[in-house]
Structure 1
Amino acid sequence: MRKPLFCIWNNESIELRENQRNLAIQNLNLISERIIPIFDEATQTVANSLNIPVCCLGFLLGEEYQLKSVYGLSNLGLMNDLAKTRKIERQNTFATHVIDSHNYLVIENTLCDPFFSQNILTQHYGIVSYLGVPLTIFNGLCIGCLEVIDTTARKFTLQDINFLMITARWCVAEYERNELITPHNNFIKYCNNYQNFSSDILIDNVENFTSSPSLISSNNINDSEKYIRQLSFQLLNKLTQKLSIPLTSVIGMSSVLKQEIYGKLNSKQLEYLQIIHDSGQEMVTLVDEITKLANIKTEINLEFVPVDLENLGKQVIKSLETFAVSREHSLRLSIEPGEKIWKLDREKVKKTLYYLLITIIEGSRTGGEIQIHISQKMQTLKINCWVTHPWLGDGISFEKINAYECALKNYDSSLLQNNIDKKTSSQNSYEYDLICLLFSTYLAHLQGGNISLQGSPESGYRFIISMPISK
């Protein structure tokens, strides 16, 4: 008995789907022969949990089905061809049917199946029972298969199927999360190309909104407001992309616990609970920022109030704590003795520090302590931000210095009145940390201050926010 086996119907050509899948695999950096620990963990966990001899995870690339992670292939015969080459022609694999249908495939006994009994996997490798589920990435595209194999007839329960599907979603989501925070950005570019929620569309909508006489007069929208809105919507685009990955983790892990697949709580369930908690906290932070950025229209106006900088700094650190921990960073605040309350625009100072810290968290190597020191020099507020690392020394990551210096150097307040469209167009290709730096710099300039990058290769580099204190 086998179920189900069908191909999905859509208006895309086979060639287009093949090209999309090949491009996705390439941009996810899955073509290289590097070992991916999260996939190895998935195959080992599945094999042990289901007590089944063989588990494989592979991708369909062109005319070949390539195995990226395998567990127990020797059970199909020592030094068999499949174990040695880690690939098989697409027409000879069961996984092709899973990928084409975007659905799971169950074969309880291939020897009794008129279709699969003639397959090379049955005839040559002795595969009798099979269960495969699709590997689906963030945009719904199926790129591969997670599958379990046995050399004897076997009945797969609904619990087995659900467990395999949840594990497939989990390992792909975790891999995508890691790809988003690694130095190379092919996957990020692919996400940007795929997303319909693009900054260009959003900016066009904003311009249409501001040009509508029934809503607001275009005479009241100056170039400065236009610039901040464009930067805001670019940030919204990046935040939305980053939101999809932890959301997948939350859904997948909660499903595992709700179905009680592991029975009573064990170490694995505790690990999943931690993932749910951390992902949920990160989602809350991102959603909160999206909500705030949606109300950016009043950002031009300054409202000076007495501000307790130590308390404000603690609030910023608390809001970024989960985000920092997920990247193995810690945050530490210090303030020089003396006056702690200054008259400032509270929300804009808070956003300035918040997005500068995101820049550092995103752009720094894991395992560092990010330090924030607040001081006063004459009538100027100084906030120093830098990183200390147990073996890399002090300072902002050296490989990021050139990009940050270039961004700050090219930032000229005169451009807020000239060539805005050209400037923001060039920023569309910036990574998340650079857009955060530009946004933070804009807010500092708006308050009459600035952000500088000071230091040297020997002593290390640090960001310094300088802000005039209102009398």
Structure 2
Amino acid sequence: MTLTDREQQRLQALAESGLLEKDNVPVFNEAAQLVANFLEIPICIASVMDRDWQWIKAEVGWSDLEQIQSLSTVRQIKRSECFCAYAIENEQVLAIRDTTTHPIFAHRLFVGHYGIRAYLGVPLISSNGYCLGTIAVMDLAPREFRPKEIEFVELTARWCMAELERFQPIGSTLPPPKRTEPAPLPLPLPSSLPATGFSIERLKVELIAQLMQELRTPLTSVMGMTSVLSREIYGPLRRKQKEYLKIIHDSGQYLLSLVEEILALRELPSGGAPLSLTSVDVEMLCQQVLKTLEPVANRREQQIHVTVEPVHRIWLLDKGKVQQLLYHLMFRVIQVAEGGCVIRVHVSRKGDNLNIGIWVSHPWLGDNLPETELEACGIAMGSTSLSADTDPDDSSGFPEEASSIDVWERVKDSAIDRSRERLGLLLSCQLAQMHSGKISIQGGPRSGYRYVISLPEKR
């Protein structure tokens, strides 16, 4: 399916929702007020996007801007000028600390005319996968949006869609949107079944996917409402009530992350499918994976920190495959690492390769991979260094490529361990190989060991 086809289906779902015709959407009004108050930010809008215009359905502070001189400007913005178009087209969060320094958005009308200096936009995605609009917040001064603030806006967006779809899913008459990748080959049809085009196995896969989608909606509602209740909007809470609400919220968030993982795996094409290369902002991709894994890390009292060297952030990649690669490798490191540590992810360029290093920082064990992880890859802690010293000119701290070991070669033949973590590691290795890259372990006893994903630049 081409991007044009996907956009046409999105517009059909938007028309079916009836949101374009509504001047007042109560759930959007409540969401805008809630987000503006929680983030203590002057501007918040909830909007939908048609082919040419962004239609604002609820706002806080937007109409108070001195530059807003007409009612039409309050309610509609040209799509080519708004920031929200990027969040909708990519179906992911867009956070900009300082719009005046952003290479893409610095010259937009929002910056020069309206004076918007910071922006955070979260897509509004229906249960059937159609992105209809955004909830966005804006500030008139540069602002770093904290992970908890982004998470709250994401939860509010999901709650909004769950409320809108309480009685009827939006886009239910349309086929679910697909990635712009070749469709998988049809599964063989057993001779005992009529020629309907589906096998029992394929029907089971599709049914599980639908059940996962249905599970996501009530989970989102539970998380959204527990978040609202915990802020004591409807009255004060006792200490025990707050503890129980936090447990419910955190458990729901963890369950939702598992649902998202299952759905993402279903979308992953077979190994024979060609790469679907697009321009990807690597930092934003890492942050997106971080958000997905935060509930898992929080359960182990861990943190995830992402750093990016000041090099080209835009790379030509298969976004879906690299996202899954990062997810499963980071998940493995989270599971084998000690509680209370920091999982570090560092993005750099090494020659023509994109390098992503992943390791653990512990308050008294230092920077390294856990000993059990090294032993699983055949590295004894008392062994000689793979590369005891790092290149002094290499600011990433990654050892020389020639001194690394290929993880795939060390773990592919181990048939004993069938755990989720090992299967995820094997999947990550194969996804890297599909990109003509690899996952290696680099370092030594003195400098510490780390996983390094190395993907060659595509031209």
TM-score bucket (shorter structure): 0.3 to 0.5
Give the TM-score of the pair, scaled to structure 2: 0.43
Q: Which entry has the higher C-alpha Rg, 1 or 2?
A: 1
Give the TM-score of the pair, scaled to structure 1: 0.42
